[in-house]
Structures are given as C-alpha cells and as structure tokens.
Structure 1
Amino acid sequence: MIPEIGYFSLVLAMGLSLLLCIFPLWGAYTGNLRLMRTAPSLAVGQCLLVLFSFGVLIYITLADDFTVAYVAHHSSSTLPWYYKVTSTWGGHEGAILLWLVMQASWTALVAMMSKSLPWVLRARVLGVLGFLGVGFMLYTLWMSSPFERLLPYYPVEGRDLNPLLQDPGMIIHPPLLYMGYVGLSVSFSFAIAALLTGKLDNTWAKWSRPWTMAAWGFLTLGITIGSWWAYSELGWGGWWFWDPVENASLMPWLVATALLHSLAITEKRGVFKSWTVLLAIAAFSLCLLGTFIVRSGIIVSVHAFATDPDRGLFILSFLALVVGGSLALYGLRVSQVYSEGRYKLVSREVGLWVNNIFLVVATLIVLLGTLLPMIHKELGLGSISIGVPFFNQMFAILIVPFAILMGIAPMLRWKQNKLPPLAKKWAAIFVATIVITSAWLFSSFDDISTLTYLATALAVWICIATVVDLVEKVSVHPSTAQGLKRLGMSYWAMVLGHVGIAFVIASVTLTSAYSVERSVVMTKGETATLNEYEYRFEGVNEIRGPNYGGHAGEVTVFKDGEYVTLLHAEKRLYDVGMQFMTEAAIDDGFYRDLYLALGESMGNGAWSLRIYHKPYVRWMWLGGILISLAGFIVLADKRYRRRKQPSVEHA
C-alpha cells in the first residue's frame, strides 16, 4: 500500500504542475491577476507532493521491500543504510524521481524568493517551470515509475547496488549534478518568460543571474566530485576519460559559463540581449540532450542508466518540443531586441564576448566528438571512434587565447580603453609570468617540453593578472581595508573563478606531463622504486565488509630511507552480484599523490600491483571547489536581496 501512496502523490503533483502550467500563463496573457497569484501556491504544493513521494521511495528501500521492482533491482538487505539511500537514485527510475525533486524544489524556491518581480514576469517564469515539470512527471508516471510491483512473485533478496556506485562520492555527486542541470531550467524559464513578455530589458537579466550562478555552482561541484570519484573508485588512476556521459555534463557547463558572463554584460550595459537569451536556451537544451544520451541506451558507459529505446524516444521528443518551441519563439521576438549601449573594440564588452565565442566553439567540439560516432552508427555507416587525442588537441588549441583573454578582460573598462597604458601593464605581467613559470618548472622537473611550459605559463598568467587587477582596484581607496570592503561579491566571484581555472589548467598540464606508473609483480618483502619513492610489499590479508569479502594488499612507502605512509589497497568481491571491484589506496598531498591498485594473484604469494606517482593532481579538485564557490558567493550580493512586491499597476 505504501508504494501506491508514493505513486498517487506523484499523480497529484502532476495535476498541480498542469495547473501551474496553465493558470499563470493564461492569467499573464489576459491580465488576470487572480490567476497569476495562484502560481506560488501551486509551485509549493507540487514540491511538497514530490518530496513526499521521494520520501516514500527512501522508506521502502530502507525497509527492504523487494515486492517493488526498483528496490529489488538496486538494493539488498546487506547493503549499508547510507548506500540504500544512495540506491534510490542509483538506477534509472530513481534518478528520474530525483530529477523531479530538484525540478519541484527549484520551482518552489523561485516562487518564494522572487516576490519583488513584476507579477507578469513571475507568473510566466513559474508557468514555464510548470510546463517542464509536466513533461518529466508524465515521463515518470508513464514510463519510469520507481513504484512498480513484482507481485505476486518477488525475490527474497535484492540484486544489490552496482559496486561502482558504493562510494562516498556517489552519495553526493548525482544530487549536486542534478541541482545544476535542473537549476539551468530557471535561467531558461526567465529567458522564455522575457520573450513571452516582449520586454528583454535589464530586469530579467538581473533576476536570472543569481539563479544561473547558483545552478552553475552546483553543476561545477557535481562535475568536480564526479572527477574525483572516477579517480579514486575506478582504480585506473585517471580523472577524466572524455566519456560521452562526462561530456554530457561538460557541454551545459561550458555554455552556462558563457551565459554568466553574457548576463553580466546585459545587466550592466544593456547589450548582447539576444545572444544572452540564446545561451540560456542552449544551456538547458544541452542538459536535456545529456539526459537523452545517458538514458536512451544509445551508448555503453559505466555512467549510463537505461537501455530502453522507448524511453529515449520520449526524451528525444520532449527535447525537440522544448528546443523547437523556444527557438521558434526566439525567432519571432529577436527582431524586436535592440542593444542600448555602445562600445569600442578595446573594451570589456568585446573581451567577454570573444571569450564567449571560445566557450561556444569548445562546446561545439565536444558536441561533435560525442554525437558523430552515435549518428554514424545509427545511420548504418559503421563504427568510428573519436577518442581522447581529438579532444585534447582541440582544447589545447582553444585554451591559449581563452586563458590570455581571462587575464586581460578584467582589466578592461566598459565602453572603451586606451591601449598604450594597458599594453605596458600586460608586458610587465608577461615578464613576471616568464620568471615565475621558469623558476617553478626548472626547480621541480628535469625534462620540460614547450607545450608543458606554455600551458603552465597560461595558468601563472591568469593568477598574476588577477592579483594585479585586485591590487589596482584596492589601491584607489585611502586604505586597504576600505578598498577590500568596496569590492562587490560579483568581483570576488570572478577572482575565485579565474584562480580556480588557473589551478585546473596547471593541474591538468603537470599531471598529464609528469605522471608516471609502473606495473609490478611482487611477493612479500620485495621492493620496487618509482621516482624517489621506494615501495615495499608487506603481503595480502583477507578482509570482510558488510556486503563483500576480498583481499587487501599493504605496501609501505619510503623516501630517502624515511617512512612516508602505509598504503592499503583492496580487491573486493561483492556477495550478491559476485562482482569484483578494485579499491585504490591513495596517499594524497598538496604537491603529489601516491596511488596504488591491487591486481590479481599470480600464485606462490605473488601479486600484481600498479603504482602511480601523480604530481599536482589535487590542484584540479581544489580549482573545481574554488570555481563552484564563485557561483555561490554572488548570492550574498545585496543587489539580489528581496525588495517589496511591485504594485498591480506595475505588473
């Protein structure tokens, strides 16, 4: 009975979402304020019902109710409780319900925190969000319900959660990623509402910006934790594989990054309005495309969920409806959009716009590399492979002008600048970059390639340029404290974001160039050397976990005869699914990671092991955290705090 209550709660939420889609939009069209005022209550109501339904799924999972197909397929009685909760989004149906939770929550937040918006704009934003909610609720109820029963015949034990997902990273990675995905629907809804209203002024850009920043921050953090999960859990010593599912999250992130900068220009200068709207449409459309890639069954990936073509067809149809409808509306309204500001070639507007172009080109490259093999195969033309070398080469070309502009753009003023003073400043930064990069690399590594030097210099360039700009802005005030106080949250967000990008560039460059690995076969007491570290194999012990058994290899690490750490790598065999999993041992540090993976038994007490030395790999995730923080601190900006609801006349 309890699963049926969860399903019925979704049915009621579907009804409220349908009303949310109809009443506010019709009220805005006819000028009926009473209908527009129903939007917040409907938004909050459908959110509570969806949360209740998700709570039911968690309850029946914790209760090991294997009469429910989803619980039987993705959980087991031996699974620890926290992984039972994780299993509620570890399969396709539960993941879609989690998407609904995020969709309903964002909608309710917009309803409660946008009280200072004009009623017409507010009603249309919530109406569009209601339409999106209807689409995903219909998909859940019709094709992906997690409450289907197996009665009268059901298993006495579940199949267990995929061992790959039994990791702390997967407890928080999918919710954060979905918060980012679905959060971009708010930006999309603001853009569509502005097009429907016919007023693409600064108001919609101003109120869309904090929601976009928050969604972008969650998406950044989700991608960062996903990268860390791939590094620590898969046992391959890698952190990014250009997998189609990884690309599915990268594409909306790239466009959302461009959207953030474009929103800032539109809000402050009243230019690039049509471009900003197009980016908002593209960002959420790529989220839907990513959902189709993951859940259509057209790819094989450790990240992919569904293999049902009918589900993929539904998502593809919904994607076509959303994208086609929004682009048609854009085509009808774009001729009415006019830019207000004027600017010269050497200006911040142009600098940000050019960086936008680089981000969009990068997105198109990822889109091409991801979809072309699928399309080629579906057309019956055979299989083609677009692998890591293609993506690495194309991004290596784009990152140079992109990083240079990242250092230059913050120093530019709006409208126009005089080039000679800027050129002198940039020349000084260039010299400092060469000195610091040379000192860093030549003191740390023996063999330095031209590409490694150039990429590292780009990271240093961004950091120095950011610091110089910060010092200049602070120094114009009588005191340092006063200067720091005058800097707004948006500026600090820019500083964190740019420094975070610099950390990521440096980490990717140095880890790719100087990571070394060695595969060895060792018996107890034998040693192996990698770089300046000596690894002594201490043997293998049997282990027993809550739902797995296996072996754990222990390796003591020394450097110059001094003890460094004891690495404990595991080879697990899970009881229910009888699947093997490698749990790598990692000794992390600010400048390097020591990474050990236990392989197979070779007989006579010998085991195969893989040893990795990875310099500066932690900087990648530190950079990701800094970038995500940039998305959140903007929310503290006083410009986005609630003000009094405008009168009916201004609605």
Structure 2
Amino acid sequence: MVETGHFALVLAFALALVQSVVPLVGARTGEARLMAAGGPVAIAGFALTALAFAALTAAYVQSDFSVANVWQNSHSLKPMLYKVTGTWGNHEGSMLLWVVILAFFGALVAVFGRNLPATLRANVLAVQGWIGAAFLLFVLATSNPFVRLEPAPFEGRDLNPILQDIGLAIHPPLLYLGYVGFSISFSFAVAALIEGRIDAAWARWVRPWTLAAWVFLTGGIAMGSYWAYYELGWGGFWFWDPVENASFMPWLAGTALLHSAIVMEKRSALKIWTILLAILTFSLSLLGTFLVRSGVLTSVHAFATDPTRGVFILGILVVFIGGSLALFALRAGSLTAGGLFHPISREGALVLNNLFLTTATATVLVGTLYPLVVEAISGDKISVGAPFFNLTFGPLMLPLLLLIPFGPLLAWKRGDVFAVAQRLMAAFGGALLAVLATLLLVDGASVFAALGIGIAVWMVLGALTDLAQKSALGAVPLGVAARRFAGLPRSVFGTALAHMGMGLSVLGIVATVAFEVEHITVMKPGETTEIAGRTLRFEGVAPVQGPNFTETQARFVLMQGGVSRGALISSKRIYTARQMPTTEAGILTRGLSQLYVSLGDETGDGGMVVRIWWKPLVTLIWLGGAVMMAGGAVSLTDRRLRVGAPSRRTRPSAVPSGAKA
C-alpha cells in the first residue's frame, strides 16, 4: 500500500504537468478537445492524490514503522483518533494534505465549472495545474512521506503531545481549505489576465470560490485560537505569533477581496483592484506556507525543517507571486477601471472598507517580517509583539468597525448618509445604553472598555437594523413585514450574520481583555480561594494512567452560596515515549463566561501552585467566528451565488413549412 501511494503521487505529478500545459494550449489555439481535457485530468489528479493520502493514513492506522514518517510521529499505544490525525501532524503529511486539498478544488472547478466559458475554464485549470505540479514536485523531492526504513523499528517515537488533541482533527484541515481555497481566486485572476477579459460575469464566477475559502479560513483561525487557549495552559486566545499572523493576513485580504468582488459584480467597477487582491490573497497564503516550513521562525506552530525545503518554497513564491504580479503589470495598462460611483454610496463604503483592511494587512505584514529582515541584514534578533500590533492594528480597525453598519443600508451608486444615520438611531441608542451600563454597573474607570463594548453592540444592532429595514418592519403590517423578511435574498441574511458575528467576537475580546480576573495561589487539598466573587475549592489529586501517558489530575469545585455550581479537572501529563510534560487546563463554562484553572509545580509542603482566571464572555470570541462562518455558508446558498453562471440558450429558429430539416 505504501508503494502504491508513492506511485500514485508520481502519477499525480505527471498529470499535473499535463493539466498545466494541454488546456492552456487549447485555449490559445481554440482547440476544443484540448481545452476539454483539463477537466478529466484534474479529476484523475485528485483521485491519485487522495489515494496517496489514504495510503499514508493506512500506514499510520496500522502502525507501519517501516515508513520513516510514521516512525517519527506515531506510536502503537496512541489512540486511534490521534493515529489518523497524526497523518497531517507533521511536515510531510501536512504537505500531502495541502496537495490533496489543492487537487480537490481543481476537481471542483472541473465538475461545477462546466457553465464557465471554455477558454476561462481551461486557463483556470491550467493555472491550478501549475500550482499542483510545483507543490507535488516539492513533496516528492524534499518532503516525501513514503520514505522507508530498513530494518523497520519495533516502536515509534510518538506524536508531539501538544498535537494529541481533537483540535488537530479540525484546525489544520479547515485552515488548509481556506489557504488553498484562495488558489481558485488566484487562478481565476491569472486566467483572466492571460485571456485579457475581465468583467462583471468574472466577478460572479469568482465570488463563490472566494467566499467558500473565506468561510473555511475563518473556521480554521477560530478553531486554532480556541485550541491554543485550552491546550497550552496560558489562558490567552491570541498572541500575535508570526504564524498566527500568517493565517490572519490572507483572511484580511480575502475579506477585502470579497467586498471588492461585490462592487465589481454589481457595478463593473474596481476591476484592477479586484484582480490585484485575488493575486495578493493567495500570495499571502503562500507566504504563510513559507514561514511555517522554512525554519526561519521559532514558533509553537512552525515545523522544524531543513533549509533546503525553505529554499524550494521560496523559489515557488518567487515564481508564482513574481510571475503573477509581472503579468498583472503587463496587462494593467489595458484594463479599464470600470463604472463610476459617488463617494457616498454602497460602492464607496466598500472601497473605504477595503482601504482599511489592506492597510491593516500591510501593518501585520510589516510587524511579522521586520524581525526577519533585521536578522538577515544585521544578525540582531528582535521581537515584535502584542504592543506593536495593538497600537497599530487596533486604531485601523476602530473606524472600520464604526462604519460597518452604514454599508449595507447605503444605496448603490449614490446614497444618503444622513438618511442612513436616522435609520441607525435605534442601534446607536442601544450602543450608548451598553456604554452607560458598563460604566455604571461594571467598572466606571474602564472608559475604553465601555466604548469597545458599545462598538460591539453597535455592530450587532446595526446588522439587525439592516434586516428590519429591508423587511420594512414598522412601516407595513407585521404579516407583510414577516413575508418580506422571509423573501429576502439569502445573501442579505449572510451579510447580516457575518457582521453580527464580528460584533460578537469584538464583544468577547473586549470583555475578556478588560474584565478578566487572574489569581495565582498555592492550594492544598480541602482549601478554598476566592476569585471574582466566587469560591473555588481544591478537592485533591489523583494519579491516572492513560493509553500512552501518566497523569496527575486535580479536581476543583466551584461554590456559590455554599452550593456546588460545577466541577472541573486540571491535570499535568507525562507522555511515556517522549517523556514530555504537558499541562491540561481545566475549564468550566458558566453561561458565556469561563472559569479557567491551570496547574503549576508542587510545593514541598504538599501544596500546588494554581493559576486561576475568570473570563467573562470569553466564549463569544469563538461563537462570533461560528456566526461569521454561518453567514458565509448562508450566502453561498443564494441562487445568485451558485458556482458558475447559467449558460445562454439560443432559441431555435422556426423552420418554414415545407423546408427540409
């Protein structure tokens, strides 16, 4: 099975070369049969890469330690879930997953893009073939997951204990579906530049693919944040780690691309900007891949790799980013800017949104790469941490968050900002009430926190106002408003949900950062401690034997009014194979808030250092991400956003009576 997987990967590389050349030649020569070859080749390439991935997964499931990758990252006693997820819990396996997802998206274009113009579809598949061939060559030449060991070791070295978690089953696949999904937008952009035809129809074709990638990347970032929050025992949800930034930058650029494509589809405007954003978004995804796998970063997320892999990926970056930007520069002079619109309009609001998002992306990019550039030039090692990003990224986001509710309520082409402000008065009143309630009931000194909560409430109520206005709630009888509400396009609901989800995440971030309570103490069994008006009692410790680890579990009970309100278990583990310790945080959720307990070292008198947090509304951070994903998914079901576009059917001309058919 292992040799079958390796051979399938070689065949997939050969087919990727065919896919990268044959449809392109067909599009240039107008040969329909050559253009049509791209679809079946893309589907076959996906089948072969999926077979290779299945072969590697089978080796992990069977604990085949004759495969070097399995020996380095698995163990016979590891639970089955982690044997499967361990397939992509390493450099080689994760790159194979990357390639499988890339081939999967290419196959989707082949299957669901049949209504695309033949030349555009052929060019898109050819560009996908270029990307696939480059990364398949990278896997085969530098990161082959099927390398054998002779003789085969009796036992494996086990997977990194931090990765032995359900998060590994969810976070990397979602993240890669987002990263790689933007390759379709990139391929559409390069294909349009090759063909020299960019119009509103192109924007309609590319928007569903961009939206799908954005949904997956949103989920991947949110899941990664929560995974780090509960697994590392540090109590934080975002560290501005360089690899976190590497996933955040394509999300920001992809969000700008989505909004830019809307303007292009509706008004045939921002053509040049939309094409450039499509190129830059996937370029940032490639940059993220380079940062994780080149060895230039020291991060909990980064794979330790040798420099030759980094040089290879750097070459891929130069070819695809440099090549696409060079093509863009050649074609930019012949591209028209598109339709005109008044600055005060929905188009103008979307352009302003893009300016803020792209500037924020540039800020994160500079903060991420600056230490690397300084080290490369001078050899000095510096770090750019949270203070820099908070002082630069935060002020850029503040006006954007304030303006978000205005956009959907403005009219196309020319809007009335004063009329929109009047419609948003109820939302403004609710936000002002939230600010006053925070100052009066929570903390009168936390002015900035109160304003942040007011902005979050403003965004949520602004999204609800958009739905109410479009269904004419209050202006027509309730039954009529209900029917209008039910008849609204799904993209309207999707937009409202996405903006509402952003507001919920902002609310969770502000409340957690401003009002969380931290308490570090030494506790012995039977002792209690107070935190945020609550009593936590330490019940005691107990040893536990896991399948491939030993664990010391500490049990705590939350008390209020002398009554138990729930229990949680925090523990410290030692994984047998690697002798690596980990801390498993205990988390007790109460409403939208959480009690978070992390264990420290034992003291000589039988006590234990305990770090405790009370985190108000912290779950809204990730609930908001889920609502944003739901908004994108709802928009994808809109009839107007189906992948592809309806083909025009010509009406058959009438045959005169007596004429021969």
Q: Normalising by structure 2, what TM-score?
A: 0.95
Kindly state the Cα deviation for residue 450 of structure 1 after the two structures are TM-superposed: 1.9
Alignment match of 1:456 (pick from 453, 461, 485): 453
Matching of residue 77 in structure 1 with residue 69 in structure 2 = no
Shift of 1:462: 1.1
Q: Identity of aligned pairs, percent?
A: 45
Residue 659 of structure 2: aligned partner: none
Q: CA deviation at 1:335?
A: 1.6
Other-structure match for 1:566: 567
> 2:105 — aligned with what?
106
2:294 to 289, 296, 299: 296
1:413 corresponds, among 380, 397, 411, to 411
When structure 1 is superposed on structure 2, of 128-137 and 585-594 the one drifting more is 585-594
1:378 is matched with 376
Residue in 1 aligned with 2:443?
Answer: 446
Q: Contact 1:43–1:107 at 8 Å: present in 2 too? A: yes
Question: Match for residue 503 of structure 2?
Answer: 502
Pairs within 5 Å for 1:152-231: 153-231=151-229
Partner secondary structure for residue 254 of structure 1:
helix
- Contact residue 434 and residue 453 of structure 2 kept, 8 A: no
Paired position in structure 1 for 2:319: 321
Match of 1:12 in 2: 11
Displacement of 1:520: 1.1
Matched, 1:233 2:236: no
Q: What do residues 106-155 of structure 1 show as CA deviations (whole Å, max 9, x unaligned)?
A: 1001110011111001111111111100010000000001000121x342
Partner SS for 1:167: coil
- The alpha-carbon deviation at position 646 of structure 1 amounts to 6.1
2:629 is matched with 628
CA distance in 2, matches of 1:448, 1:31: 70
- Residue 477 of structure 1 and its aligned partner are, at CA, apart by 6.9
DSSP-derived class of the 1:17 partner: helix
Aligned AA (2:466): D
**Residue of structure 1 in register with 2:397 after alignment:** 399
* Structure 2 partner of 1:259: 257
Q: More displaced, 449-458 or 351-360? A: 449-458
Equivalent pair of 1:17/1:43 in contact (CA under 8 Å): yes
User: Is the aligned partner of 1:607 residue 2:574?
Assistant: no
- Aligned match of 2:336: 338
Aligned match of 1:148 = 147
How far apart are the structure 2 equivalents of 1:421 and 1:109? 44
**Aligned mate of 1:272, from 255, 259, 270:** 270
1:631 and 1:97 map into 2 onto residues whose CA distance is: 27
| Correspondence for 1:537 | 538
Counterpart code for 1:266: M
C-alpha distance in 2, partners of 1:359/1:589? Answer: 35
Measured in 2, the distance between the counterparts of 1:175 and 1:532 equals 41
Equivalent residue number for residue 556 of structure 2:
555
Question: Judging changes above 3 Å, is the alpha-carbon distance between structure 1 residues 362 and 643 closer, same or farther for their aligned structure 2 residues?
Answer: closer
Per-residue Cα deviation, 1:329-368 (whole angstroms, up to 9, x for no partner)? 1111112222342211211111111111111111111111
Residue 224 of structure 1 aligns to a residue whose secondary structure is: helix
1:156-212 CA-to-partner distances (Å, cap 9, x unmatched) read: 111101110011111111001000000000011111111111111112110110011
Structure-2 residue corresponding to 1:490: 491
Q: What displacement does 1:591 show? A: 2.9
Alpha carbons of structure 1 residues 345 and 645: separation in structure 2 relative to 1, 3 Å: closer
How far residue 602 of structure 1 moved from its aligned partner, in angstroms, is: 1.2
Distance 2:346 2:103 in 1: 37
SS of 2:88's partner is coil
Deviation at 1:411, TM superposition (A): 1.2
Q: Structure 2 CA distance, aligned partners of 1:595 and 1:428? A: 37
How many residues align? The count is: 645
CA distance in 2, matches of 1:135, 1:646: 36
Flag the 1:477–1:157 CA change in 2: closer, same or farther, 3 A.
farther
Deviations 1:374-407 (A, max 9, x none): 1111223411221111111222211221111101
Q: What residue identity is the alignment partner of 1:501?
A: M
Cα RMSD after superposing both structures? 1.5
3-state SS in 2 of match to 1:379 = helix
Measure how far apart 1:645 and its partner are. 5.3
Give, as a single letter, the amino acid of the residue that structure 2 aligns with 1:344.
Answer: H
Instruction: Report the residue type matching 1:329 in the other structure.
Output: L
Question: After superposition, what is the alpha-carbon deviation per residue over 1:421-470, rounded to whole angstroms, capped at 9, x for unaligned?
Answer: 23433455433321233225533x13442211221111111122222221
Distance 1:195 1:477, change over 3 A: farther
Give the 3 Å change call, closer, same or farther, for CA 274–392 of structure 1 in structure 2. same
Instruction: Point out where structure 1 has 5 or more consecutive residues left out of the alignment.
Output: none
* Runs (5+) with no aligned partner, structure 2: 651-661
The answer as to whether partners of 2:292 and 2:302 remain within 8 angstroms in 1 is yes
**CA distance in structure 1 between the partners assigned to 2:137 and 2:289 by the alignment:** 16
TM-score where L is the length of structure 1: 0.97
